[in-house]
Amino acid sequence: MVAHLLTLRLLVLRNTVTRSPWQLVAVIVGAVYGLGILLLVFVGLLALSFAPARLTHTIVVLAGSATILGWIIVPLLTSGIDQTLSVAKLKIFPIPPTRLVVALMICGLLGIPGAVTLLAGIFTAASWWQHPLVAGSAVVMAVVAALTCVSGSRMIESLNTGLSKHRRYREISGIILLVPLLLLGPLITAFSRGLANAAATLPVLADALGWSPLGASWSVPATVQSGHPALALAKAGIALATLAVVVLVWRRSLGTALVTTTQPVTKTVARGAIGLFARFPATPAGAVAARCLTYWARDPRYSRQLILIPIFPILLYVNSRTTHLDGLVSASGPIVAVLVSLSIFTDLSYDSTAFAAHLSARVTGLADRAGRVAAVSSFAVPIVVGITIGSVAVSGSWSSLPVLLGLSLGILLSGLGLSSVSSSRIVLPVPSPGDSPFAAKTGAGFTTALTTFATWGILVVLALPELLLAIASGATGSSLLGWITLVVGLGLGAVLLATGIRLGGRRLDRDGPELLTRLRVQR
């Protein structure tokens, strides 16, 4: 049973790798990266053996607790760490739940993330190599912790399967969870400023975590070493009890999940309510704009990107307060302009083969491009202008408003023009419609990252004139240069946007069928 599931897993991995050489490259890069991290962890932990025991304890407990927490959070963000062996797919086989639990646990431990966690955990023994008994306890507790990671992740996954009957809930829950995670950095900075300093608080935090389910197993070796065997036994008890409870809950929810099918709950709108289609002009371009805007609201793959918009100004604000660099806030407008305008840089990939509708209905490339740009502009222009004005209000330097507006709007317009061209050429493996927006396709990360960075680079070049003018204006404090930046930003941006729409549209007119073929392959 265990062997079968394990073989299945490895087969799936092999088949994805052999599908294209690029995926093989991506997997190899990933493996080298993972091995590098493991090596660093090992060296670091070995070095800790020469450090005071208290420091080792603090670092291991904090890192270990974060690892367990990470394993538990990931299934809420994606559809699970390991989708090959999802409960939904194994449901049809006559496997008793208990055996399935054991099999999944071992498979999870031998999968790549599981193996890395287990090895990194076992490496903590290296910090105690001078004390064989302590090192031994570290190895045992590392296995317990790794099992807790795998089981905890699986437990959350199967609990979540039961909860997520509502498609909307499923799609949004991950996104909502992302917000506090992204803001974690500033939150910690803000909180720790109240405390005297971080160096004093971290050991205390580690001591507290050592008695919690997250950190108990990681805390055992140091407690043994400090000569408190009773306390160490108590902590080991907490760790084992945690594992037992997690496995039991998992076993129970798995039992339920195996005999339940999720019934989608749907919402119906009244007849004749065609939403945005009634608001936009009744032309092909208007229809495309209405459709895109509807997708921005309904498709989590788009709406996820909207969440980033408020987060960046907040991050910049908090950082400018802690670092006392007031200028940081001013970067909000331009950064949001970059993010929003390039959010559609591979729009066709998101359409997937549904793009055939545009092809069949002989929508001109121009109308297609213009509609997509209009949809984004309808909210991007007010947001970018609003954020720019807001950032100026916060920093109080109203004289810099023309510069910043010129820069932000210049970047926004140029970026939309660039997206119009790039999305008529680039087809990337993006999450399919209906997938979790975080469900990256295996091996897609590498090409996607490369293309994204290339696009950002091109945008910097396109916006170079207003960027240089803005820098010059900032350096000289000249208000004339500021107004020139505004004019150049708007003018050059408009020209680039029009050119982008025309070039992208022409490309679409010429190569529509070929693009559809590439989109088909992607599916």
CB of 378 to another protein, least distance (A): 17
Region 164-193 residues binding another protein, contact defined as CB under 8 A: 167
Nearer to another protein, 32 or 278 (CB): 278
Question: How many CA atoms, within 13 angstroms, populate the side-chain half-sphere of residue 166?
Answer: 5
Q: Tell me how many degrees the CA angle 174-345-516 measures, rounded to the nearest 5.
A: 100
Task: For 81-98, give the DSSP string.
Answer: S--TT-HHHHTTS---HH
CB of 305 to another protein, least distance (A): 15
CB of 503 to another protein, least distance (A): 20
Distance CA 431, CA 470 (A): 38
Which member of 6, 143, 308, 359 binds another protein (CB under 8 A)?
359
CB of 505 to another protein, least distance (A): 14
CB of 225 to another protein, least distance (A): 57
Q: How far is CA 278 from the centre of its chain?
A: 35
CB of 426 to another protein, least distance (A): 19
Indicate the residue type of 158: S
Q: By rule CB under 8 A, what string of x and - marks binding of each residue 483-522 to another protein?
A: ------------------------------xx-xx--x--
Work out the number of other CB atoms within 10 angstroms of the CB of residue 66.
Answer: 13
**Spatial CA neighbour of 383 closest among 452, 335, 320, 350:** 335
Which member of 132, 386, 434, 477 binds another protein (CB under 8 A)?
434
Distance CA 26, CA 443 (A): 5
Which member of 28, 47, 179, 357 binds another protein (CB under 8 A)?
357
Nearer to another protein, 8 or 359 (CB): 359
Give the total of residues touching another protein (CB under 8 A): 45
Nearer to another protein, 359 or 440 (CB): 359
Q: By rule CB under 8 A, what string of x and - marks binding of each residue 129-168 to another protein?
A: --------------------------------------x-
Work out the number of other CB atoms within 10 angstroms of the CB of residue 462.
Answer: 21
Distance CA 277, CA 294 (A): 9
CB of 270 to another protein, least distance (A): 6
Q: By rule CB under 8 A, what string of x and - marks binding of each residue 218-247 to another protein?
A: ------------------------------
Residue 458 neighbours by CB under 8 Å, 6+ apart: 418
Distance CA 291, CA 293 (A): 6
Nearer to another protein, 82 or 171 (CB): 171
Q: Is 437 in the site for another protein (CB under 8 A)?
A: no
Distance CA 305, CA 312 (A): 12
| Tokens matching residue 358 | 């545009």
CB of 347 to another protein, least distance (A): 13
H helices of 95-228, in order, are: 97-110, 112-123, 132-163, 167-182, 184-194, 198-210, 216-225
Region 336-355 residues binding another protein, contact defined as CB under 8 A: 351-354
Nearer to another protein, 271 or 324 (CB): 271
Region 243-302 residues binding another protein, contact defined as CB under 8 A: 264, 266-275, 277, 282-284, 286-288, 290-291, 294-295, 298-299
Which member of 8, 10, 143, 356 binds another protein (CB under 8 A)?
356
Longest dimension (CA), the chain: 79
CB of 27 to another protein, least distance (A): 23
Distance CA 327, CA 136 (A): 53
CB of 405 to another protein, least distance (A): 34
Distance CA 404, CA 332 (A): 10
Specify the DSSP class assigned to residue 441: P
* Binding site residues, another protein, CB under 8 A: 167, 264, 266-275, 277, 282-284, 286-288, 290-291, 294-295, 298-299, 351-354, 356-363, 433-434, 513-514, 516-517, 520, 523
